[in-house]
Amino acid sequence: MTRVEPADFREFFGSIPTAVAVVTTVDSNGRPQGFTCNAFAAVSPQPPLLLVCVDGRSRSLPSLLSWRAFVLHLLADDGEETARVFASRAVDKFVGLPWFPSEVVREVPVLDRGVLAYAECTLDRVVEAGDHHVLIGHMEAVHLHPRRPVLYQQGTFRSWDGTAEKTVQA
């Protein structure tokens, strides 16, 4: 048995297509913050909880922990450029991007383009796990705009046409 190195970990999880999200929040000076994320999941329908994994070195983490509210945006197939911008080290990722302040979760930015759904969340709890923090968010509101999602696999953005090559029956 060999030790799992960080590159092995990334290659393992990168081998499967995942949905792509952008998480937004506000810093202590009221400025919008955000980052691209593909480590998120449903936790519980009652109460409605989701989780987001955030690198402990993320510049957005202190804002998430202090503001205690965020919006998880699931990106549509025209959201690839938004994903790239929020994955960058740019200081102001919101320049030229349409957004509006949430009326539900403390004026957190809600992206207004390239989104198929978003959940407005308050921070329920935080768990430190390795070099990441797992944020559990209480979903205060959800908004759906049925469209095709953008997916990410092996370092490449892909779109999904909604069909399967083969049907598996139980």
Domains of the chain: 6-159 (2.30.110.10)
pLDDT digits (tens, 9 = 90+) for 36-88: 999 999 999 999 999 999 999 999 999 999 999 999 999 999 999 999 999 99
Q: How many residues does the chain have?
A: 170
Determine if the peptide bond prior to 17 is cis (ω within 30°). no
More confident residue, 168 or 111: 111
Longest alpha-carbon distance in the chain: 54
Region of residue 73 (left: phi > 0; alpha: psi -120 to 50; beta: else):
beta
Which amino acid is it at 25?
A: T
